[in-house]
A and B are shown apart, each in its own frame.
Chain A
């Protein structure tokens, strides 16, 4: 019986023009997203490699290690970011790392190409969030009330079929058709990737597979919701209107409202406010540093090297103390801001998860490695890199790099020094989050998507069992 109902549903959907249009649009959009994603990824890799080479070139000709005041590091392009861009285009991708001082990232893609920021990319996540949800609505809005309007519901229910089975047939049929179409489209898209020179690792394939599973859960959820709404409305127009309102609220309004509410709930000082406080403190410290210099009395010695060594030792002592105070102050301010920001984000994400669209976004971006945490991961790894760079330069120079003044003596008759070898500078290697950790983080959102599915399926059964099928 269920098989008959599912077969009929599949046959009816496949035979309808709306499925043909839906499938074509779905296929074109998915192929387009894979194509543009792959091309964009290759461009990003080219730019990333060129930027790294250019950075190394900037050290050419330098003969003293203490002249290496900074090194530029770059967030490598992630292949999956081309399919689920998440925040990857919003956050800074490069950072000038100095041996001391604050680590900041800049040069976000949207900063460089504002047109993209305005219209955004068509990626797989966008297709799932907007297009797929709309297709689910188109397939499900008339599942029950449409049968009633057509006049076939009464005839179907005049047979000995339980209503739950009838509904299940509708749901399974529609879900099978759309998910098979989706898998075919994504499968073709996946074939495009190696053809365009993008090779995913086995771990990235697993991540992509899980993203597709999240997309299917999201699609199932909207389908179940559409069937539920069609089970308590008598007219297809009413059902479609209700679902459109839910779709707009879910994808466009609720996540934004959540961010607005959290912004009101927790006041986070701006980067400029913090910058001002840090600058004030730095000025204060600098004055104190200069005052300390007044207390320095050079030793009386004819050996200039000893004089220099004594001066550098003194400089180290006061600069290290100043640097420590600055670091403590900056860390405290940054931590306070970070905690506030975290609190605000947690409120925003908790509220946004009322909308399944947010759960899908968070799950897929976590799996693609482009979740909002990418910014923290890059920042943290850049901080770690700063420490290793400082240690390296201190070792090379024998001085506390980035502390204060460095006094050198150049002797005209000194032998010509060889240029430094820039490849000796520690390389920055970004380590993406491990798969198991990403899956662990995405699990709550998968749970929510499954929960929403169960709620809407149960809702559909309850309302259809009470549905006036006359």
Chain B
């Protein structure tokens, strides 16, 4: 507990990942994400954002350090961790020959939600903005944005304490992007801790409570969004990425 008596949901403690080919993907990363918080990791390709998410999902073992969810280590007790974790990928891919409802049913049961009914699925699909007339359509006819909405619906139905979003707004049209931010705020309002990796500076600033700029496995900057309110985040990001940091990062770097 910290930060106004809120519970830490997602936590990286000296998280380091070095690949077999010698590439240092994460370099002693530290952060904590509380309930009701949206944490955005900004960075270019290869910065280490997806590696961080993969370690939380136990798809990668950290070289050292730990990634914890509700205080439980992801590589020591991955099945316990995954019960508290939902994941939405950049390009949500579901089973193309299943309908939206069938996909939701399967993934909900996989996520441990056995008692949900068709009504629950439809309610959530409508909530994420998917019109009722397509609920029984097969996924193979869905656009990327529609699949994204299904992915978010699956995450909502899993009803976890933390949600990991990997590039969630990539490829979405402005309307879908706006709807996504609204949804993210709703989730935050429900007490979820959200870790979001993104290239989208505009959406990050709009939605996140904390923004970190990441490069070569390190946070170059990690600030509360409120402190960045009057700053031009885009130019700040460009300066960091170009190696002209205006100030040393305030914490956790």
Contacts and interface: CB of A to CB of B under 8 A. Distances in A.
Contacts of B110: 1, 4-5, 156, 159, 161
B80 A151 contact: no
Interface string A146-186: 00001110111111111000000000000000000000000
A159 B111 CA distance: 5
Interface in A34-61: none
A157 B107 contact: no
Size category, A interface: 20 to 34
Interface residues of B, number: 33
B89 A470 contact: no
Contacts, number: 70
A1 B85 CA distance: 17
A157 B57 contact: yes
Contacts of A159: 82, 107, 110-112, 158
A155 B93 contact: yes
Interface stretch (B94-102, B115-123, B235-243): B94-102
A291 interface: no
B74 to A, nearest CB: 11
Interface string A452-470: 0000000000000000111
B199 interface: no
A11 interface: yes
A18 to B, nearest CB: 11
Contacts of B59: 154, 157, 468-470
Interface of A: 1, 4-5, 8, 11-12, 15-16, 150-152, 154-162, 468-470
Nearest to B83: A160
A15 B91 CA distance: 23
Which 9 pairs across A and B sit closest by C-beta, in order of nearness?
A151-B93, A158-B87, A160-B82, A4-B109, A160-B79, A159-B110, A15-B97, A160-B83, A8-B106
A4 B113 CA distance: 11
B97 A12 contact: yes
Contacts of A5: 110
Contacts of B14: none
Interface in B31-83: 50, 54, 57, 59-60, 78-80, 82-83
Contacts of B109: 1, 4
A67 to B, nearest CB: 77
B86 interface: yes
Nearest to B93: A151
A155 B107 contact: yes
A150 to B, nearest CB: 5
